[in-house]
């Protein structure tokens, strides 16, 4: 009898790989019965990642969203799964152990069956707690391997991680091919190794379309023994997202596998509803570039979502770079020149930083370091002159063990700066915090919620939860949506977003201060030099000192306040963005010398 391959619809990731937001709970409740009626899914990815955070940004209760969204699938016997980031859980920075433990208890009670846990460095120490807490909370523990392509990321390397997490008691393994650059034959060999050694372990493959390998990868892992494949559906499939279920179902059926039939009437209705969600408001926040595949991702290995980020960075630096080149009597560079040079620099930097898998947030660290290296090289300065604090934490082992070996010049640079390498368990550096949050909730008269879910949400997303409780989040979203609608009414001149530089004479600044370095906006947002955005007098003064250990300013991003650090000590020689001004990612905020 033919072996069965089962499908999981990654409805949450479909949206978050495409744009900024996900559907609201009333929309999710509307489409859930239609997804069930399609009849081809044994699993649906319902939450995790930034799902809860996005609901807070709407000004909505994320706990209500998870409970009501998972309920119909639970009733229909379809398993639900979430994504969490190991040490970072549901956010971008480390989470105390007591908050992590509470998360699984809450999510299980809310109706989430499977916890997909990954560590961006594949450090099994960061995943041991995920397995333990998931099992204690009553969830199925699925450990995801962050897949990339490098000399150190061999089948033997990944099997070393698998051996440890199976020892910890995990139930399943996911191959998380976040950039879609895993080579199909390699993924087949890895899947076979897992199934040969641990036949009782379920294997699920998650591959973004990106550079185009994922369809072939799905066939390879299916032949090697995979049990589940993650798929998407129109109008959000392909591009930087995931292959469509229709294509994968037809391919596997032809290859002799047993797959469930698709109710095409229900598929078309789910497709229609998804499009209405896009038309309603979500489409205003979807990057059109995410619908396109790109073979350029094969070489640099960065996730597809990083393409837009890199282009924004390069546009922000383009004028400054050419101004510096003119001062040196050198030929100016086109944006395409810089793209190629940046990709090459990423390929140079990545192995020297120990081959961290290029998944959030480590993909950002590698890209940022490569970008700063490029800036320094073009100005005739040495590489590695600017490395930000978060990247140093990765280098020093504070977020986990790097897969590869650091280059001697990086180790020497750390010694020259008096920095110490961390050998301990990353979790030990972050003490328990639940008691602090319990105390404040009691003082505020806030309900801990059913199964302590409100306590968990506050402890996990402190800033966003405060904004949700105060009502600021809902007002902010309504204003953002109204602004997006107004912008959409304007004539469309170009199909890609263009970053408009602040009206400063970059060439004059770089000529006057040749050693000055630009400080860019790391995200899109509103400039806050001080907390009172209405006070224009709170902007810094020329000559003010900045240091690596203190924020230079803040950006009010869609998810909350984002610190902006200079990455180097010095003084401000030019200010390019006013207090309260809205800037795009990559725009220059100031020059520091």
Residue 493's pLDDT is 39
Residue 498's pLDDT is 34
Report the alpha-carbon angle 519-521-524, nearest 5: 175
Q: How far apart are CA 26 and CA 280, in angstroms?
A: 13
Q: Give the closest residue to 46 by CA, choosing from 69, 21, 14, 23.
A: 69
Average pLDDT estimate for 280-294? 84
Task: Retrieve residue 29's tokens.
Answer: 């409740």
| Mean pLDDT across the chain | 88
Q: How far apart are CA 75 and CA 350, in angstroms?
A: 46
Q: Give the closest residue to 232 by CA, choosing from 276, 267, 282.
A: 267
> Which percentage of the chain shows pLDDT scores above 70?
91
CA quadruple 338, 339, 342, 347: dihedral sign: negative
Residue of 104 and 305 predicted with greater confidence: 104
Is-contact 427 126, C-beta < 8 A?
yes
User: Distance of alpha carbon 220 from its chain centroid, rounded?
Assistant: 26
Is-contact 396 420, C-beta < 8 A?
yes
Intervals of CATH 2.40.50.100 along the chain: 501-593
Residue 535's pLDDT is 39
Residue 300's pLDDT is 66
With helix as H, strand as E and coil as C, how does 25-51 read? Answer: HHHHHHHHHHHHHHCCEEEEEEEECCH
pLDDT at residue 504 tops 70:
no
> Which percentage of the chain shows pLDDT scores above 90?
62
**E strand or H helix at 525:** strand 525-528
Residues 6+ apart with CB under 8 A from 579: 527, 528, 529, 530, 533, 535, 536, 538, 539
Residues 6+ apart with CB under 8 A from 264: none
Q: Give the closest residue to 324 by CA, choosing from 587, 591, 570, 542.
A: 591
Residue of 291 and 430 predicted with greater confidence: 430
Q: How far apart are CA 395 and CA 409, in angstroms?
A: 12
Residue 312's pLDDT is 64
Going by the DSSP 8-state scheme, the letter that residue 4 receives in this structure is: B
pLDDT at residue 2 tops 50:
yes
Is-contact 479 512, C-beta < 8 A?
no
Is-contact 592 570, C-beta < 8 A?
yes
CA quadruple 153, 156, 158, 161: dihedral sign: negative
pLDDT tens column, 372-388: 898 888 888 899 998 98
Task: Retrieve residue 350's tokens.
Answer: 């990545």
H helix runs in 174-280, sequence order: 184-197, 214-224, 245-254, 264-280
Average pLDDT estimate for 47-62? 94
Residue 150's pLDDT is 92
Helices (H) and strands (E) in the chain, counts: 22, 16
Average pLDDT estimate for 438-467? 97
Q: Going by CATH, does the domain composed of 6-287 fall within 3.20.20.70?
A: yes
Q: How far apart are CA 169 and CA 172, in angstroms?
A: 9
- In which residue are the tokens 């095409």 written? 264
Intervals of CATH 3.20.20.70 along the chain: 6-287
Q: How far apart are CA 237 and CA 296, in angstroms?
A: 20
Length of the chain: 593
pLDDT tens column, 255-279: 999 999 999 999 999 999 999 999 9
Assigned fold of 501-593: OB fold (Dihydrolipoamide Acetyltransferase, E2P) (2.40.50)
pTM as predicted: 0.81
Q: How far apart are CA 210 and CA 34, in angstroms?
A: 28
CA quadruple 300, 500, 519, 323: dihedral sign: positive
């Amino acid at each position: 009898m033919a072996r069965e391959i089962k499908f999981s619809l990654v409805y949450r990731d479909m949206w978050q790989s495409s744009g900024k937001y996900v559907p609201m709970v009333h929309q999710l409740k509307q489409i859930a019965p239609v997804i069930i009626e399609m009849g081809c899914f044994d699993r649906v990815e319902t939450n995790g990642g930034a799902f809860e955070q996005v609901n807070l940004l709407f000004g909505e209760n994320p706990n209500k969203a998870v409970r009501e969204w998972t309920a119909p699938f639970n009733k229909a016997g379809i398993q639900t799964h979430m994504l969490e980031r190991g040490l970072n859980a549901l956010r971008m920075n480390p989470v105390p152990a007591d908050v992590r433990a509470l998360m699984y208890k809450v999510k299980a009670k809310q109706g989430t069956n499977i916890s997909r846990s990954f560590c961006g460095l594949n450090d099994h120490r960061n995943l041991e707690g995920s397995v333990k807490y998931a099992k204690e909370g009553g969830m199925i523990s699925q450990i995801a391997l962050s897949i990339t392509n490098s000399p150190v990321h061999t089948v033997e390397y990944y099997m070393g991680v698998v051996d440890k997490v199976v020892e910890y008691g995990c139930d399943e393994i996911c191959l998380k091919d976040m950039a879609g650059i895993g080579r199909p034959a390699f993924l087949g060999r890895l899947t076979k190794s897992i199934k040969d050694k641990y036949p009782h372990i379920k294997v699920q493959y998650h591959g973004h379309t990106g550079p185009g390998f994922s369809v072939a990868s799905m066939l390879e892992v299916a032949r090697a023994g995979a049990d589940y494949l993650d798929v998407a559906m129109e109008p959000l499939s392909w591009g930087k997202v995931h292959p469509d279920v229709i294509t994968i179902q037809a391919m596997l059926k032809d290859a002799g596998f047993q797959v469930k039939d698709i109710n095409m009437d229900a598929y078309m209705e789910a497709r229609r509803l998804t499009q209405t969600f896009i038309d309603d408001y979500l489409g205003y926040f979807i990057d059109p570039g995410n619908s396109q595949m790109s073979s350029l991702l094969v070489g640099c290995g960065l996730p597809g979502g990083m393409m837009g980020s890199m282009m924004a960075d390069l546009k922000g630096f383009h004028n400054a770079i050419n101004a510096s080149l003119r001062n040196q009597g050198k030929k100016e560079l086109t944006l395409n020149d810089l793209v190629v040079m940046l990709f090459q620099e990423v390929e140079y930097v990545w192995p020297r930083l120990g081959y961290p898998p290029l998944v959030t947030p480590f993909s950002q660290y590698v890209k940022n370091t490569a970008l700063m290296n490029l800036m320094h090289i073009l100005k005739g300065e040495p590489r590695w002159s600017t490395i930000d604090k978060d990247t140093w934490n990765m280098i020093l082992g504070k977020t986990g063990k790097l897969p590869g070996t650091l280059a001697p010049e990086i180790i020497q640079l750390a010694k020259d700066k008096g920095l110490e390498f961390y050998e301990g368990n990353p979790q030990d550096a972050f003490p328990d915090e639940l008691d602090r949050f319990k105390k404040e909730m009691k003082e505020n008269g806030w309900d801990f919620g059913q199964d302590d879910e409100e306590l968990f949400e506050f402890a996990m997303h402190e800033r966003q939860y405060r904004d949700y409780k105060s009502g600021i989040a809902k007002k902010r979203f309504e204003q953002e949506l109204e602004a997006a609608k107004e912008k959409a009414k304007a004539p469309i001149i170009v199909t890609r977003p263009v970053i408009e530089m602040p009206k400063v004479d970059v060439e004059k600044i770089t000529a006057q201060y040749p050693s000055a370095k630009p400080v860019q906006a790391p995200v899109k947002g509103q400039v806050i030099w001080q907390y009172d955005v209405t006070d224009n007098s709170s902007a810094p003064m020329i000559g003010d000192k900045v240091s690596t250990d203190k924020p230079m300013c803040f950006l009010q991003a869609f998810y909350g306040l984002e610190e902006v650090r200079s990455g180097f000590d010095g003084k401000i020689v030019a200010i390019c963005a006013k207090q309260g001004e809205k800037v795009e990612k990559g725009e220059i905020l100031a020059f520091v010398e």
